[in-house]
Amino acid sequence: MERPNKSSFAAGFGFGTTSGVITTLGLIIGLATATQSLTAVIGGILAVAVTDAFSDSLGMHVSEELNSGNSGAWSATISTFISKLVIALTFLIPFFVFGITTAVVICVIWGLLIITILSYYLAKKEKKPVWEVVGEHILITLVVIIVTRLIGLGIEKYLKN
C-alpha cells in the first residue's frame, strides 16, 4: 500500500463531496417531483449513496493511476468513497424528520451550503476571487436543481397520462 498522499486525498475529498451533493440533490429533486413518494426518495438516496460512492471512487482510482501511476491512487480512492458516501447519507436526515416538501427545501439549502463552503475554501487556497469560484459552483448546482425539477415534472406529467 502506498504512503498517504495529501494532494490525492484532497482531490478525492473535493470530488467526492461535490459529486455527493450534486448527484444526491439531482436525484432528490427528480424523484420527489416525479413521485412525491418518501419511499422512492429514501430508497434512491440510499442506492445512490452506495453505488455512486463505489463508482466514483473506482473512477478516481483509475484516473489517479493514469495520471500519476500508482502514487496517490488509494488515497484518492478512499477519500472519494468516504466523502461521497457520508455526504449523500446526510441528505437522508431531513426526510426522517420532516414531510417530503420541507425535507426537499432543507436538502437544497444544505447542498448549497456545502458547495459554498467547499468553494470558499478552494478560492482561498487557489488565491482566486471568492465570488467567482463560489458563484460558478452555485450556478452549476442551481442548473442541476432546475434541470432535474423539469425532468421530474415531465415524468410526472407523462405518468399521469
In a domain, 160, yes or no: no
Residues 23-73: pLDDT tens digits?
999 999 999 999 999 999 999 999 999 999 999 999 988 988 888 766 678
What pTM does this model have? 0.90
Chain-centroid distance, C-alpha 30: 14
Element (DSSP H or E) covering residue 108: helix 100-126
In a domain, 41, yes or no: yes
Contacts of the segment 50-58: beta carbons below 8 A, 24+ positions apart: 50/85, 52/19, 52/20, 52/23, 52/84, 52/88, 53/16, 53/20, 53/80, 53/81, 53/84, 53/85, 53/88, 54/81, 56/15, 56/16, 56/19, 56/80, 56/81, 56/84, 57/12, 57/16, 57/81, 57/84
In a domain, 140, yes or no: yes
In a domain, 1, yes or no: no
Residues 92-113: pLDDT tens digits?
999 999 999 999 999 999 999 9
For residue 53 the three cell numbers come to 460512492
In a domain, 161, yes or no: no
Helix pair angle (130-160, 100-126), 10° resolution: 150
Is residue 41 within 8 A of residue 159, CB to CB? The reply is no
In a domain, 159, yes or no: no
Phi, psi (deg, nearest 5) at residue 68: -135, 25
In a domain, 139, yes or no: yes
Number of domains in the chain: 1
Separation CA 102–CA 133 (nearest Å): 29
More confident residue, 119 or 74: 119
Domain extent at residue 16: 6-154
Separation CA 80–CA 128 (nearest Å): 24
In a domain, 134, yes or no: yes
